[in-house]
Structure 1
Amino acid sequence: MILPGAEGPAHACFFAAAVCMGPGETLLELPLSRAEAGAAVRLGACSADRTETASSDPKAVEMASHHVITIQPQFSSPPQASEWQTGLLDCCSDCGVCICGTFCFICLGCQVAGDMDEFCLCGSSVAMRTLYRTRYNISGSILTDYLSILCCPCCSLCQLKRDINKRKELGIFW
């Protein structure tokens, strides 16, 4: 995008970088903000009557030597492992979830899948439990997820729904 006021095909000023070319000058890219680029045009920094080269300007050389950050800094420590909000057999802590899981297992599975923005029939699967566990950095493995669903699918699904409800109450469900 060429700034208004830049004249002639031999030189142009851009918002992100200024490329000034005159007779006998070399190309030099300068990182400029929109305001700085506008000021450069108003001051005639990109005019054809410029006699000094861009590389002789110490400010231009200093600006051109700045490094661009391409990798953002990461957290120095890994997120801490958490645990399930309730145990696998804590059905009495939320009787509504327990009754729903016992008498309408598929409905509870669809509720869990809906909470997780997944397909309805995936709510009671090992994949859903593993996805939830890894999302919230809950300790365990795929094997423990599989065994809990194999041995007691109702309790496993109820635990998942109770955990979702607790995290919603705490405002840490996403």
Structure 2
Amino acid sequence: MAVTNQPGKYEPSDFQTDLCDCCDDCGTCCCGFFCFLCLGCSIARDMDECCLCGVGMPIRAVYRTRYNIRGSLCKDYLAAGCCPLCATCQLKRDIDRRKEQGIF
């Protein structure tokens, strides 16, 4: 039997929610709005990174690469730079959904 896929690899996909889908998870949105750094620390903790690494373009790029999510460093930079709250909330929503699906 021939192996056609490497184990642990994911098919290319998109984020499971759009950048501005804050109403999909109001709790995450409120956490980000009232304590942005706490939300970043939560993301960093989920990804086994330093708490200071939880917000911004680098963590988004690492996450996209790990789960083979379509995009580019330029798009990560624009999302994190133009709307850091929305980008961080989107990342946390995606992490939470992958946890529910058992693929995180």
TM-score (norm 1): 0.55
Give the 3 Å change call, closer, same or farther, for CA 76–100 of structure 1 in structure 2.
Answer: closer
Report the residue type matching 2:18 in the other structure: G
> Which of the two has greater helix per residue?
2
Aligned counterpart for 2:83 among listed residues 132, 152, 155 = 152
Return the structure number with greater relative CO, CA threshold 8 A, min gap 6.
2
Query: Structure 1, unaligned stretches of length 5 or more?
Result: 1-72
Give the 3 Å change call, closer, same or farther, for CA 81–101 of structure 1 in structure 2.
Answer: same
Aligned counterpart for 1:134 among listed residues 52, 62, 65 = 65
1:79 and 1:138 map into 2 onto residues whose CA distance is 9
Q: Is 1:114 the counterpart of 2:45 in the alignment?
A: yes
2:30 and 2:95 map into 1 onto residues whose CA distance is 17
Query: Which has more radius of gyration?
Result: 1
Task: Please list the CA deviations of residues 88-111 of structure 1 after superposition, one character each: whole Å capped at 9, or x if unmatched.
Answer: 000000000000001100000000
Structure 1 ranges of 4+ moved more than 4 A: 76-79
TM-score (norm 2): 0.91
Query: Structure 2, unaligned stretches of length 5 or more?
Result: none
Q: Is 1:75 the counterpart of 2:4 in the alignment?
A: yes
Give the 3 Å change call, closer, same or farther, for CA 155–75 of structure 1 in structure 2.
Answer: same
Please, what is the CA RMSD of the aligned residues?
Answer: 1.7
Give the deviation of 1:75 after TM superposition: 3.2
> Which of the two has greater strand per residue?
1
1:1-174 correspondence to structure 2 within 5 Å = 75=4, 79-173=10-104
Give the deviation of 1:160 after TM superposition: 0.3
1:79 and 1:96 map into 2 onto residues whose CA distance is 28
Give the deviation of 1:125 after TM superposition: 2.2
**How many percent of aligned residue pairs carry the same amino acid?**
58
